[in-house]
Chain A
Amino acid sequence: MTRVRTRAPLWLLLPAAVVLGGLFLYPMYQLGLLSVLDFTQAQVSGGQPTRFVGADNYTRLFTDPRFWDVLLATVLFAAACVLATLAVGAGLAVLLTRISRIPRLLLSLAAMAAWAVPAVSGSTTWMFLFDTDLGYVNQLLGIEGFNWMYDRYTAFALVGAVVVWASFPFVMVTLYAGIEAIPKSVLEAAALDGANAWRAFWQIMVPILRPVLAIVVIQSIIWDFKVFTQIYVMTRGGGLAGQNMTLNVYAYQQAFASSEYGRGAAIGVVMMLILLAVTLLYLRTLRRSGETL
């Protein structure tokens, strides 16, 4: 078959290119540009001239030991949240396929409600539940006066629980739709061959669901790596002595709250590159194992 090259496709692509360029490329270009400038409030209001500082913002960032601590904490926290979200979401998706109509409806509604709650209100509600002196949880457990935010790991665990609570419904719904689309005959055949639920999940569902899983995993990684609201609200901007800082909160605090936009842009670029790398790596491993996306 010979392809006839015409200019038509180019023209047809132009509207999309303009929209995407305006919405994505231009902000990214601005972000990159800001990150090599000394750009603070004084420059925005024209009090001082804008200065090109090259890699200064990046050098300052990479030589800051705090940055590496925060980056490590963010990666580990995001990884834990992604795994927990997937486990909870997948488990409940399977459960959804096995229960009768009314419980299924109730579970879906509950999950949708959690999903629909704005992050700020959700985090605040959880804070009330886990309040040191007045929280229901502490009263129930008989540990009034226990401050969940005092220890670094209990604080991260609690915030992580809220992150998972807010993001598992997406995973659950997506995977449930995927599972429902699997031909019943395949599952039946597996059952006839003696596969139990666990085995059927890993050897039948997961391979078939791989493309759906890929989307869910990438989404979760991006969401959890960029977590801001829950940390900011629940740990009051990074926790006791900054022990619960994640990269986004750090960027906000170091850069935007103090109007150092150049430095903030540098953190933004670094985050973008990390996410891009993780996503590409993940897609590559998928492709290598035989699936195209």
Chain B
Amino acid sequence: MRLRLAVASALALTMTACAPSTSTPAATATDGGPRTGALKVWLFDEPNRAPKEAVVKEAVAEFTAAHPDTSVDVQYIAVETRSERFKGAFNDPASAPDVVEYGNTDLPEYAAAGGLADLGTVVSGWSEGADLSADAKASATYEGTLLGVPWYVGVRALYYRTDVFTSLGLTAPTTLAELTTTARTIRSKKPDMYGIAVGGKYTYGAMPFVWANGGELTEIDSAASKTGLKSYTDLIAEDNCPPQNCADLTGGKTVDLFASGKAGMGILGNFNRAAVDAGVAKGKYAVVPLPGVTAGSVAPAFAGGNNLGVMKNAQRPALAADFLTLLAGKKYQAKMYDAMGNLPTLKSASDEVAAKDAFVKPFLDTITAGTKFVPLNPGWGKVDASAVLPTMIEKVATGKASVDEATGEAAKLIDEALTK
């Protein structure tokens, strides 16, 4: 009996000692850390990484030449497991890198976890810092603190089939209303084609419709947002893209549809060029900015992209800032465009790129017209993960709910997630 008691109490003791693990944030180096040694850099691995790697190698060579006794250790981390890697780096300061590339939609999560360093003074003291657009800076700012330098962006615009448009006597639409009628014309004249490829899970395709009408993601149940949503879901219908086929399409699937010649138009990104050129649509398409509500306006696009940041745990923050500004500078942004097709965030670099390649013009025009971003709030990750927006779009598109019901429900969920 005595023994049993002893075992039980020992068990109870070990249990109370085992609370869930949390790590304590490390003290940050205030003096900028050592100016020599190995700088650790994490960049995203990508399919066909070689050109990116070549540009980065060049930057590393330039950096080590200017900074004696330093070396740069670049690691390419898989995009799919980045979340775990970053969480690990936040939790274990000793293994944390100095400079990181991260997706700009991941910013709030990392910021809330307290993992990224303030770059405000670095950018204001950087000769090219003033060249960053306000939109770009805003997408890297969390609660008033600049936590990254936008390295490149990607935006979507309207791809359309020039051969189809010519044979039907159509011209590129200049308003969203015209886009709808054009899409229906294509579908009625060529029934085996979708007018414009749209999908219920393609939120980045739907958001510009909401924004163009003056709506906002945080006010998805406002009259303006509802008008915008309805103009998008009206496209998921028999006369353009039947719900049976299109209600559950992702953005990637709409790229496939356009590339394989199944659609007359598509809302695709500058980064989808290679995919389209690999399909039957190659050489038979043109791109214009996605039109807004009034003729001549542009629907605000979602500015997805990647930032470069410095970890709060970085052991060499001063060196890290030097490397970051080098890699994010005009020279290497332009080189990154040549290598990967990534749109530069610095005005000077994008001017240079536009002069070289006419393809980027509609995308740069879209950026100039003003881009939008998802709410910078750690709760947005939850909205994203629980598929609030796709559910809303799909409910309307399949007739499971009215626009009012679906937006009301989504607004409630978004509100809950953002205010928690």
Residues of A within 8 A of B (CB): 7, 10, 14, 21, 26, 29-30, 33-34, 37, 39, 41-48, 50, 132, 145-147, 149-150, 236-243, 253-254, 257-260
Q: Which residue of A lies closest to B248 (CB)?
A: A240
Contacts of A21 in B (CB 8 A): 11
18 CB contacts below 8 A, A to B, read: A7-B3, A26-B15, A34-B20, A44-B21, A44-B23, A46-B25, A46-B90, A46-B114, A47-B25, A47-B90, A47-B112, A147-B245, A150-B398, A240-B247, A241-B200, A242-B391, A253-B387, A259-B109
Q: Is B243 an interface residue (CB 8 A)?
A: yes
Contacts of A14 in B (CB 8 A): 7
Q: Is B81 an interface residue (CB 8 A)?
A: no
Task: Given A45-B115, A145-B245, A258-B381, decide whether A240 and B394 contact each other with a Cβ distance below 8 A.
Answer: yes
In angstroms, how far is the closest chain B Cβ from the Cβ of A11?
9
Contacts of A47 in B (CB 8 A): 25, 90, 112-115
Q: Once the chains bind, are B245 and A10 in contact (CB under 8 Å)?
A: no
Given contacts A34-B20, A259-B109, A259-B381, 15 further A-B contacts (CB under 8 A): A10-B3, A10-B4, A41-B87, A41-B112, A43-B22, A44-B23, A44-B87, A45-B115, A47-B114, A239-B248, A241-B390, A241-B391, A243-B400, A253-B386, A258-B385
Q: In the complex the two chains form, what is the Cα distance from A241 to B90 in whole Å?
A: 35
Task: Given A39-B20, A241-B394, decide whether A132 and B245 contact each other with a Cβ distance below 8 A.
Answer: yes
Q: Once the chains bind, are B18 and A30 in contact (CB under 8 Å)?
A: yes
Q: Which residue of A lies closest to B406 (CB)?
A: A241
Q: Once the chains bind, are A46 and B23 in contact (CB under 8 Å)?
A: yes
Contacts of A30 in B (CB 8 A): 18, 20
Q: Is B355 an interface residue (CB 8 A)?
A: no
Q: In the complex the two chains form, what is the Cα distance from A242 to B392 in whole Å?
A: 10
Q: Once the chains bind, are A26 and B18 in contact (CB under 8 Å)?
A: yes
Contacts of B384 in A (CB 8 A): 258
Q: In the complex the two chains form, what is the Cα distance from A211 to B247 in whole Å?
A: 47
Q: Which of A10, A44, A238 contacts B387 (CB 8 A)?
A: A238
Cβ proximity bits B364-388 to A, threshold 8 Å, 1 near / 0 not: 0000000000000010011011110
Q: In the complex the two chains form, what is the Cα distance from A10 to B6 in whole Å?
A: 12
Q: Once the chains bind, are A42 and B112 in contact (CB under 8 Å)?
A: yes
Q: Once the chains bind, are A45 and B87 in contact (CB under 8 Å)?
A: yes
Q: Is B395 an interface residue (CB 8 A)?
A: yes
| B82-102 CB contacts (< 8 Å) to partner A | 87, 90-91
In angstroms, how far is the closest chain A Cβ from the Cβ of B317?
19
In angstroms, how far is the closest chain A Cβ from the Cβ of B89?
9
Q: Is B188 an interface residue (CB 8 A)?
A: no
Q: In the complex the two chains form, what is the Cα distance from A37 to B200 in whole Å?
A: 35
In angstroms, how far is the closest chain B Cβ from the Cβ of A19?
14
In angstroms, how far is the closest chain B Cβ from the Cβ of A40?
8
Q: Which of B21, B243, B244, B248 contacts A236 (CB 8 A)?
A: B248
Contacts of B201 in A (CB 8 A): 236
Q: In the complex the two chains form, what is the Cα distance from A122 to B316 in whole Å?
A: 49
Q: Once the chains bind, are A258 and B382 in contact (CB under 8 Å)?
A: yes
In angstroms, how far is the closest chain A Cβ from the Cβ of B83?
8
| B114-140 CB contacts (< 8 Å) to partner A | 114-115
